[in-house]
Amino acid sequence: MDSKNGVSLLPEKKISKEKLDLLKELANIGVGNALTSLSQMLDEEKVEMDVPVATLALLQDVPDLLGGDELPTVGIYIESHGDINLTILFVLSLESATSLISSLIPGSQGDFDEMGLSALIEVGNILTASYLNALSFMTGLQLLPSPPEIAVDMSAAIISTVMAEAHIIDEEVVLLKTSLKAQKSHISGHILILPDLGALKKIFTLLGVR
Amino acid sequence: MTQKVLIVDDAAFMRMMIKDILTKNGYEVIGEAEDGKVALEKYKELKPDLVTMDITMPEMDGIESVRKIKEYDSKAIIIMCSAMGQQAMVIDAIQAGAKDFIVKPFQPDRIIEALQKVGG
């Protein structure tokens, strides 16, 4: 067993290093595009990202990858259908979400009122769509996102909701995680991408990885 | 004459942003709709000169809504305003009858430029 952030990861033999590297690169380009969009929304502020982590993880360990299952969190998630099925989740701490709302709405104190929540949802929408635009450009696949949903809860509860809505019942999931940070606006968060098994097969075939 | 605009987007925040940009630039926002179905009803009721239309929305998506509005009024001037910049989506929207396609996030200038180009 490998270990990252204190989380037990499954042996990599179930999915080859080459495939994980490819997924990492897709996450890198997709999230790179998404962060360009976030930067534009924050008046061209520099938004940094970590190298994406592609891993096969146990479902129960996913909240730990986000910093702990009892962390109060805002999750904005989108299911994408079309040629493949993917779930994308943008996770922020409550403090970051407050900062994001006040950066986007002039005069706002960052309250989670109707307009504040709408601003967060729209950021999630634009981030995920930018990611999907890049993925579609690279693979030629058509990706159709559903309108975004938002949840404010402990991270474990948010992960459970997302998994249930996406009908992910496997005990282990392939997960792409990228962490991001906009220092000036005090915003940090993670983008998680959860492709289903069929999606992975299609992507690998299309990009010639067997 | 001041041009009248209908803004269609499921996000109240985005409607507020677009409304702000348009109002500051001399347009009159005569209505807002939160999905494609409401957009069609409001179009019939308000008869706007221009429409800005999101794509990913509940009930009826923006591309379907463009089709329905164009069926009702073939002269309708609609500009797509969506985060979905995938080529297939842009082609679908243009084929449905949209005049231009703006990918979110956008600069205020971009939306004004598009409206001026199509609306004269």
ipTM attached to this prediction:
0.76
Measured between CA atoms, the residue of chain A closest to residue B86 is A133
Q: Are A4 and A55 in contact (CB under 8 A)?
A: yes
Mean pLDDT of chain B, nearest integer: 93
Residue A145 and residue B88: Cβ atoms within 8 Å? Answer: no
Packing angle, helices B108-119 and B12-24, rounded to 10: 70
Mean pLDDT of chain A, nearest integer: 84
Minimum distance, in Å, between the CA of residue B16 and any CA atom of chain A: 9
In this complex, the residue of A37, A145, A147 whose CB is nearest that of residue B105 is A37
- Give the pLDDT score at A8: 43
**What 3 state SS string does A42-70 have?**
CCCCCCEECCCEEEEEEHHHHHHHCCCCC
Q: How confident is the model at residue A13 (pLDDT cuts 50, 70, 90)?
A: low
Q: What is the pTM of this model?
A: 0.82
Contacts 24+ apart (CB under 8 A), B39-43: B39/B6, B39/B8, B39/B65, B39/B69, B40/B65, B40/B68, B40/B69, B40/B72, B42/B6, B43/B6, B43/B69, B43/B72, B43/B73, B43/B76
Q: Range with the lowest mean pLDDT among A50-64, A129-143, B17-31?
A: A50-64
Packing angle, helices B87-96 and B62-72, rounded to 10: 20
